Amino acid sequence: MAFAWRSDRGVSGRRASDSGPRRFEPVADALRGYLERTGLDESLERLGALDEWADAVGPRVARVTRAVEVRGDTLVVEVLSSAWNNELTMMKGLILERLNSVCTGPPIGGIRFRLAETAETVGKARKVFRAKA
């Protein structure tokens, strides 16, 4: 088992008080405490939504979408076309309910859909912009 050093020494390297033994703490406990103090524990738990996305929306929607990140309590999802983007935006409430029922971590507060920048869509955009220039 790995241990983290929890020091009671100051910047000079000398003990603040010479009484008492050195304290060691398991790395897992030190990390857990740090995550709780900084509020990162909930953020890490929300990342489970990335893995649960396909189960929450089903195979048809999962084929044209990809959950890419969680920002705060908002899940960011890339969508292959603007038509699907509009459709999913209208279904956002239902999708959010399904997602939160599947996920075990803290609830996701919102979903942001954005058009995916695939090689195909970027290529089409370049052709359109070149034609206009």
pLDDT digits (tens, 9 = 90+) for 108-117: 899 999 998 8
Is pTM, for the whole model, over 0.75? no
Let me know whether 73 and 90 are in one domain. yes
Same-domain check for residues 39 and 95: no
Sign of the torsion formed by the C-alpha atoms of 111, 94, 51 and 64: negative
Residues 6+ apart with CB under 8 A from 84: 61, 64, 65
* Domain identity same for 127 and 110: yes
**Which pLDDT does position 77 carry in this prediction?**
93
Q: Are residues 35 and 62 in the same domain?
A: no
The answer to whether residues 20 and 32 touch, using CB atoms and an 8 Å cutoff, is: no
Same domain, 37 and 55: no
CATH number at residue 91: 3.30.300.180
Is 82 contained in some domain? yes
Closest CA to 115 of 92, 73, 84, 91: 84
pLDDT band at 106 (very low <50, low <70, confident <90, very high): confident
Residue 13 lies in a domain: no
The answer, yes or no, to whether residue 31 has pLDDT greater than 80, is: no
Nearest to 111 by CA among 127, 97, 129, 125: 97
The domain tally of the chain equals: 2
CA 81 – CA 64 distance, rounded (Å):
8
Domain housing 100? 47-132
> pLDDT at position 126, please?
56
Contact 47, 33 (CB under 8 A): no
Residue 14 within any structural domain of the chain? no
- What percent of the chain stands above pLDDT 90? 30
